[in-house]
């Protein structure tokens, strides 16, 4: 069982944030929520500076398109700088701003939704309701553009194709995009209504007995669900790299971050590529000169709206920084937990072991491979994955 699947908990939710840090073996770790995975080049530069100035120069990408900075020497100074950069709009809500969204942002088809306006409206609505600061840090919202790429993530409340799904179950709850933010936070409040006071065991709707139906009832939906949504995914769950044509003639570039870890220099390279490869790119200009940056739940980074004339330059800049834009790279499909020395529970230096293994490959593995330092298997991707799990006697290969 992976840590993400564990229920029947006896301890309170201890998800880290920018203020409530996790005391890892390599020092305090802070997690910064990025609703929809969105970050401006200027804010990305400040995040890189914080990792270099105050941390161990490691920025980890998470499976919810957030980021975390390791080895902080001064968590208070980090929080102050993150807040000044605009990445901490509500101290009370900072651990519950968990919103994933389709990273290609409706760009691959004219009928698809651009999720970012809804993400921003949802974030504002979430932060405006004091009670919702009491949501567990694992409660997850998702905004799907209509392609189904968010459906495999198991969000508690998902906006998909003009309706809300509750823990993946479709009760026929129709809602327009303009009203979806209000209905999504109403579902979160209904979860708190149904969750027993002080209950530490239920962090997700699915962990409540008959949870989806109970939430639907509170939202005044009656009857049985239409179906448990099983819309086919429009993309693989493993990381992929390369160029994606947009319906408007521009190009998106997806970049694999090896093992989900960025150095400060690599983060600055992403910011620079976004700044200088827009229509009128100039380093330091966050507005019209830059293009949108999105982190993804599969630990890649997407640059949107690149003109075809600058896509090659953007790819060269990122490759020079040690990032991957070639879909044939062995890195496309390999992930790993933190491992030693950063995690005290790990039985191996899985990052180094995974790197040595990738060096033996000629291309991506046929099935995604995840390297884990212990039975918790932190960071395990969803879907079909080969698991290399460290034990007291080497690695054990498992299949799911």
Q: What is the domain-level CATH number for residue 251?
A: 3.90.480.10
User: What is the pLDDT confidence band of residue 258, given thresholds at 50, 70 and 90?
Assistant: very high
Task: Mark which of 274, 291, 320 sits at the end of a domain.
Answer: 320
pLDDT, mean of residues 315-339: 95
pLDDT single digits (tens) 170-216 = 999 999 999 999 999 999 999 999 987 655 678 999 999 999 999 99
Q: Are residues 224 and 254 in the same domain?
A: no
Q: What is the mean pLDDT of residues 2-28?
A: 71
Please identify, among 294, 320, 346, the residue that sits at the C-terminal boundary of a domain: 320
Instruction: Read off the tokens for 192.
Output: 């708190």
Render pLDDT for 216-236 as a digit per residue (tens, 0 to 9): 999 986 555 655 554 434 444
Checking if the pLDDT of 12 tops 60, the result is no
Domain with residue 37: its CATH number is 3.30.413.10
Mean pLDDT within 91-119: 96
What pLDDT is recorded for position 10? 47
Give residue for tokens 């982190």. 295
If asked whether residues 309 and 381 sit together in one domain, one would say: no
Q: Return the H-helix or E-strand segment holding 20.
A: none
Q: Is there a single domain that holds both residue 78 and residue 219?
A: yes
Whole-prediction pTM value?
0.91
How many independent structural domains does the chain possess? Answer: 3
Question: 274 pLDDT exceeds 60?
Answer: yes
pLDDT at residue 259, rounded to an integer: 96
The predicted model gives 241-245 an average pLDDT of 94
Examine the fold and report which residue of 198, 228, 258 is the final residue of a domain before the chain moves on.
228
Q: Which tens digit of pLDDT belongs to each residue from 361-373?
A: 999 999 999 999 9
Q: What pLDDT, on the 0 to 100 scale, is given for residue 282?
A: 39
Q: Average pLDDT for residues 6-31, to the nearest whole number?
A: 80
Residues 315 and 355 in one domain: no
In the predicted model, is pLDDT for residue 78 greater than 60? yes
In tens, the pLDDT along 156-168 reads 999 999 999 999 9
Same domain? For 281 and 355 the reply is no
Same domain flag for 204 and 118 = yes
Give CA–CA dist 260/256, Å, rounded.
Answer: 8
Task: Note whether 215 and 78 are same-domain residues.
Answer: yes
Residue 234 falls inside a structural domain: no
The CA distance from 245 to 233, in Å, is 18
Q: What is the mean pLDDT of residues 104-121?
A: 95
CA distance 151 to 204: 16
DSSP state letters, 137-191:
TT--EEE--SSSTTGGG--SEEEETTEEEETTEEEEEE--HHHHHHHHHHHHHHH
What tens digit of pLDDT does each residue of 44-62 get? 999 999 999 999 999 999 9
Name the residue range of residue 166's domain.
3-228
Shared-domain flag, residues 341 and 272: no
The answer to the question of residue 233 being in a domain is no
């Amino acid at each position: 069982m992976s840590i993400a699947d564990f229920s029947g908990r006896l301890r309170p939710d201890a998800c880290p944030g920018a203020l409530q840090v996790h005391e890892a073996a390599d020092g305090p770790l802070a997690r910064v929520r990025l609703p929809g995975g969105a970050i401006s080049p200027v804010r990305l530069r400040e995040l890189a500076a914080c990792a270099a100035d105050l941390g161990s120069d490691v920025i980890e990408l998470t499976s919810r398109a957030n980021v975390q900075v390791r080895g902080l020497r001064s968590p208070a100074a980090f929080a102050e700088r993150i807040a000044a950069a605009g990445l901490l709009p509500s101290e009370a809500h900072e651990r519950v701003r968990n919103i994933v969204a389709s990273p290609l942002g409706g760009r691959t088809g004219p009928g698809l939704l651009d999720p970012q306006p809804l993400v921003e409206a949802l974030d504002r609505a979430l932060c405006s309701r004091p009670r919702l600061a009491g949501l567990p840090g694992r409660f997850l919202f998702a905004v799907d553009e209509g392609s189904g790429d968010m459906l495999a993530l198991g969000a508690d409340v998902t906006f998909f194709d003009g309706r809300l799904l509750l823990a993946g179950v479709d009760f026929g709850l129709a809602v327009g995009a303009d009203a979806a933010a209000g209905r999504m936070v109403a579902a979160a409040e209904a979860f708190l209504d149904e969750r027993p006071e002080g209950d530490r065991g239920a962090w997700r709707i699915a962990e409540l007995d008959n949870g989806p139906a109970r939430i639907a009832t509170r939202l005044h939906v009656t009857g049985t669900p239409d179906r448990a949504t099983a819309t086919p995914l429009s993309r693989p769950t493993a990381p992929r790299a390369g160029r994606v044509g947009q319906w408007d003639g521009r190009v998106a570039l997806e970049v694999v971050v090896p093992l989900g870890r960025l150095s400060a220099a690599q983060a600055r390279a992403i910011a620079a590529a976004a700044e200088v490869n827009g229509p009128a790119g100039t380093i330091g200009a966050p507005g019209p000169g830059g293009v949108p940056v999105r982190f993804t739940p599969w630990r890649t980074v997407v640059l949107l709206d690149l003109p075809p004339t600058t896509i090659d330059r953007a790819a060269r800049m990122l490759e020079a920084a040690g990032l991957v834009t070639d879909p044939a790279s062995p890195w496309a499909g390999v992930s790993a937990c933190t491992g030693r020395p950063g995690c005290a529970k790990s039985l191996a230096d899985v990052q180094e072991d995974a790197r040595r293994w990738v060096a033996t490959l000629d291309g991506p593995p046929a099935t995604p491979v995840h390297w884990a330092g212990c039975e918790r298997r932190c960071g395990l991707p969803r879907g079909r994955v080969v698991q290399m799990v460290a034990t007291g006697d080497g690695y054990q290969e498992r299949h799911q």
